[in-house]
C-alpha cells in the first residue's frame, strides 16, 4: 500500500456474529499507524454491545481498544461515520482510501454489495472500492448458507472482492478466542496488503 492513500483503510462492521474479529482488525490497523474510517451498521452496534459489552460502543471504541490491545492503537486515527451518511468522504472514489474490509459481513450487506445497491455508507464505500479496483475484503459469517447467499459471494468475487470467510484455522494451536481472532485479523490484513505479526507464518 504505497503512497498517501496507503495510510487509510475503511472498515465496516455489520450485524453478523464475530465482533472480536472486527475489533482485532481495527486495532491492528490503528497500531500500524493507519487512519481507519469506521462505519458500523445499526445491527453492528448491537453486535458490539452484545458480544463485547457496553465498553465497546462506537463513541468509546478507541479507549476499549487501548485497554484490550495496548496503547499502540493510538498511533493511528479512528474516524467513525454514520452508516446513513452517504455524503461521507469514503462514499467517493476521489477520497484517498486504499482498501476496505467488511468484518463481519452480514448476508444482508453481502447482498447489497453483490448487487451494487449502495443503500448505506457501508454498501456505497464497498461499491467505490469495486469500481476503483481497490481491495475489498468481505468476511461473511453465516452457516449453513442458502443458494442466494452463495450466489452473492460468487457475484462479489467476480466483481473483484476477496471473500474471506470467518473460518479460523486450528493448525496454529490456538488456545484462546483472542488467538482465533488474531488469525482472522491477520488474514484480513494479508488481503489488504498490510504487514503484521498477528500470526506466525507456516514454515513447513
Ligand X SMILES: Cc1cc2nc3c(=O)[nH]c(=O)nc-3n(C[C@H](O)[C@H](O)[C@H](O)COP(=O)(O)O)c2cc1C
What residues line the site for ligand X (CB under 6 A)? 14-17, 41, 43-44, 106-109, 141-142
Q: Contact 132/93 with Cβ under 8 angstroms?
A: yes
Q: Output the smallest distance, CB 141 to ligand X, in A.
A: 5
Contact assessment for residue 161 and residue 138, using Cβ atoms and an 8 Å cutoff: yes
- What length is written for the chain? 204
Compute the least distance from the CB of residue 196 to ligand X, in Å. 25
3 state DSSP class of 112: helix
CB of 120 to ligand X, least distance (A): 6
Nearest distance from C-beta of residue 63 to ligand X, angstroms: 24
Which CB atom, from 44 or from 186, has the smaller least distance to ligand X? 44
CA-CA-CA-CA torsion sign (26, 161, 40, 97): positive
Cβ-based nearer residue to ligand X, 1 or 111: 111
144 preceded by a cis bond (ω within 30 of 0): yes
32/37 with CB nearer ligand X:
37
Three-state DSSP class for 13? strand
Give the position of cell 484480513. 188
- Cell numbers standing for residue 22: 472486527
Q: Report, in Å, the least distance between residue 44 CB and ligand X.
A: 5
| Strand ranges (E), 118-185 | 136-140, 162-163
- Cβ closer to ligand X: 36 or 105? 105
**Closest CB to ligand X belongs to which residue?**
15
Hunting for cell 500500500 — which residue is that? 1
Judged by beta carbon, residue 17 or residue 77, the one nearer ligand X is 17
Shortest spacing between CB 95 and ligand X, in angstroms: 22
The C-alpha atoms of residue 104 and residue 87 are separated, in whole angstroms, by 23
Contact 41, 122 (CB under 8 A): yes
With respect to ligand X, which residue has the nearer C-beta, 166 or 191?
A: 166
Amino acid at each position: 500500500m504505497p503512497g498517501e492513500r496507503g495510510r487509510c483503510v475503511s472498515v465496516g462492521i455489520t450485524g453478523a456474529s464475530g465482533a472480536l474479529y472486527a475489533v482485532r482488525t481495527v486495532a491492528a490497523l490503528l497500531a500500524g499507524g493507519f487512519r481507519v474510517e469506521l462505519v458500523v451498521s445499526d445491527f453492528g452496534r448491537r453486535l458490539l454491545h452484545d458480544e463485547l459489552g457496553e465498553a465497546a460502543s462506537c463513541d468509546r471504541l478507541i479507549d476499549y481498544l487501548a485497554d484490550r490491545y495496548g496503547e499502540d492503537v493510538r498511533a493511528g486515527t479512528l474516524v467513525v461515520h454514520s452508516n446513513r451518511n452517504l455524503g461521507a468522504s469514503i462514499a467517493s472514489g476521489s477520497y484517498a482510501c486504499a482498501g476496505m474490509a467488511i468484518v463481519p459481513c452480514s448476508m444482508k450487506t453481502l447482498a447489497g454489495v453483490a448487487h451494487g445497491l449502495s443503500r448505506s455508507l457501508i454498501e456505497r464505500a464497498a461499491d467505490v472500492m469495486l469500481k476503483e479496483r481497490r481491495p475489498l475484503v468481505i468476511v461473511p459469517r453465516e452457516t449453513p448458507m442458502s443458494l442466494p447467499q452463495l450466489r452473492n459471494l460468487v457475484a462479489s468475487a467476480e466483481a473483484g472482492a476477496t471473500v474471506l470467510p470467518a473460518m479460523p484455522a486450528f493448525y496454529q494451536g490456538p488456545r484462546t478466542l483472542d488467538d482465533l481472532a488474531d488469525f482472522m485479523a491477520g488474514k484480513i490484513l494479508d488481503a489488504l496488503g498490510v504487514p503484521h505479526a498477528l500470526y506466525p507464518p507456516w514454515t513447513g
